Amino acid sequence: MDANKLAEQFQQKIDADIKIEPQDWMPDEYRKTLIRQISQHAHSEIVGMLPEGNWITRAPSLRRKAILLAKVQDEAGHGLYLYSAAETLGITRDEMYYQLHSGKAKYSSIFNYPTLTWADMGAIGWLVDGAAIMNQVPLSRCSYGPYARAMVRICKEESFHQRQGFEILLTLSKGNAAQRKMCQDAINRWWWPSLMMFGPTDNDSPHTAQSMKWKIKRFTNDELRQKFVDVCAEQVKFLGMTLPDKDLKWNEERKHYDFGPINWEEFWNVVKGNGPCNKERLATRVQAWEDGAWVREAALAYEEKKSARKYAFQNTAKSTENAPAFQ
Amino acid sequence: MNIHITKFFYGDYGEIEGGAPAPVNNREWPLWEVFIRSKQGLDHKHVGSLHAADAAMAIENARDVYTRRMEGVSIWVVESKYIHASNPTEAGALYDPANDKIYRHPTFYQLPDELKYM
Ligand SMILES: [Fe+2]
Ligand SMILES: [Fe+2]
């Protein structure tokens, strides 16, 4: 069958909402786009553990510590679901790690901001996980089966992340003046980077159309961002806090909140590696990988020794066996 | 150097820039497929895969990765290289013999409505 015919059948399947599975024929570009998107999503989950991991030992109570630990462990799980989905497309885990560690692959720019106070754990849960959920829910209907299934599992777990974050902020918002100030400060610092998480405006995303056609993506960046702004503008009222945007205003005609311009220069700067924590995050990842090298090697050596022994034992057992009873 | 960032979706932060391909590592831990029985009485179901040096480690990792919320009461792991699969491009021919045998379904038979318990 020629490539055009295959491509046509492929698009028919997508249009009919039939999922694509690993062994099915797919256009090279579809495969490449998915490998890139899924692996970079996985990297984001893994690097995303670092800003919060910083606070596990400093959580203000045992309850908060246990919760934060569970959340960070979930993020590790999310990374692993996604790496395994990407591997079904023919890239190895080590190749993906290599791309991350060598700086070839990107991860979400949000994780290159520092976590300065405990309130940041609240703001991250509410805003960063909130923005992630907004993006991930439609991804669970993505046309590629393994990615969609990983996203279903992830979405189930994310909701607790956002709720625990909001609860942290809610507690601080009812605290003393210093605690309330800490709460507002964290919101101020995380609001704009969270809006940037949705990616550049649709005019600057020329491939959106193709990804929508392939049903890898179901909504544009701007659509999702608007949805997020609308939701947060209401939620922040429960905290008695404000979002740091003087242009934020309900637009009765559009039935949406208007909001101020995003500083895209800052965004591109962080993406290109010049954010406040890019170097630190990557160095921490590389260090963890290198420190684990001897463990990976030892586990493999142990397995090899065990199977060599088992093999030797089976052979001696066979040679001393009596003649088979049934012949 | 030719860097151009064109695409930008959540979890997609631009083209992977050029440079040397990843060095081949033939000491990578093997890949295992994980199957979980969510409840006593149900079948094991495929949930995903993971890397581990041996079966015991694969089961332990599967517990941590796939059952953090009591999603399972039993875990099977099998090294991915031992899985054999049917070929999707031959699906048409493979399942064709079953297609025209609708008399295998109970609805094929027209019986009086008054007939009970059948
Ligand atoms: Fe996550
Ligand atoms: Fe999360």
d(CA A37, CA A213): 16
d(CA B66, CA B58): 11
> For residue A251, what is the enclosing H or E element?
strand A249-251
CA–CA dist A138, A152 (Å, integer): 10
DSSP state of A273: I
The Cα-based distances of A26 to A22, A38, A84, A127 in angstroms read: 9, 16, 19, 36
Q: Which of B9, B24, B63, B84 to mutate to test the interface with A (most CBs of A within 10 A)?
A: B9
Does some domain include residue B15? no
CB contact under 8 A, B68 and A73: yes
B108 in a domain, yes or no? no
Domain-embedded: residue B116 = no
Q: Is the pLDDT of residue B3 over 50?
A: no
CA distance A125 to chain B (A): 17
3-state secondary structure of A76: helix
pLDDT tens figures, A77-125? 999 999 999 999 999 999 999 999 998 898 999 999 999 999 999 999 9
B31-37 and A256-258 strand pairing: unpaired
CB B19 within 8 A of CB A50: no
**Nearest-CA neighbor of B7 among A22, A147, A106?**
A106
- Using an 8 Å CB-CB cutoff, list chain A residues near B50: 80, 84
Q: For residue A20, give the DSSP letter.
A: B
Domains and CATH numbers, chain A: 3-265 (1.20.1260.10)
Q: Would B46 be classed as within a structural domain?
A: yes
Residue B92 domain flag: no
For chain B, the domain total comes to: 1
How far apart are the C-alpha atoms of B49 and A98, rounded to whole Å? 20
Judge: B69–A157 Cβ closer than 8 Å, yes or no: yes
- Min distance B100 CA to chain A CA atoms (Å): 23
Cα A323 to chain centroid, rounded:
60
- Nearest one of B112, B12, B108, B51 to A32, comparing CA atoms: B12
Chain B residues whose CB is inside 8 A of the A90 CB are none
Find, in chain A, the residue whose alpha carbon is nearest to that of B56. A303
Q: In a mutagenesis test of the B interface, which of A1, A20, A32, A40 is the best target, namely the one with the most B β-carbons within 10 Å?
A: A40
| pLDDT per residue as tens, chain A (327 positions) | 688 899 999 999 999 999 999 999 999 999 999 999 999 999 999 999 999 998 999 999 999 999 999 999 999 999 999 999 999 999 999 999 999 999 889 899 999 999 999 999 999 999 999 999 999 999 999 999 999 999 999 999 999 999 999 999 999 999 999 999 999 999 999 999 999 999 988 887 766 778 888 998 889 999 999 999 999 999 999 999 999 999 999 999 999 999 999 999 999 999 888 899 999 999 999 999 999 999 999 999 999 999 999 888 777 766 555 554 454
Question: Distance between CA atoms of B55 and B79, rounded to whole angstroms?
Answer: 8
Give residues 32 to 71 of A whose Cβ lies within 8 Å of B: 33, 36-38, 40-42, 44, 70
Nearest ligand to the CA atom of A44: 1
Query: Which DSSP category does A126 fall into?
Result: I
pLDDT confidence band for B7 (50 / 70 / 90): very low
Contact A139 B10 (CB under 8 A): yes
Find the CB nearest B8 among A41, A73, A200: A200
pLDDT tens digits, A175-196: 999 999 999 999 999 999 999 9
Which residue segment(s) compose the domain that B42 sits in?
A: 27-84
CATH code where residue B43 lies: 3.10.20.520
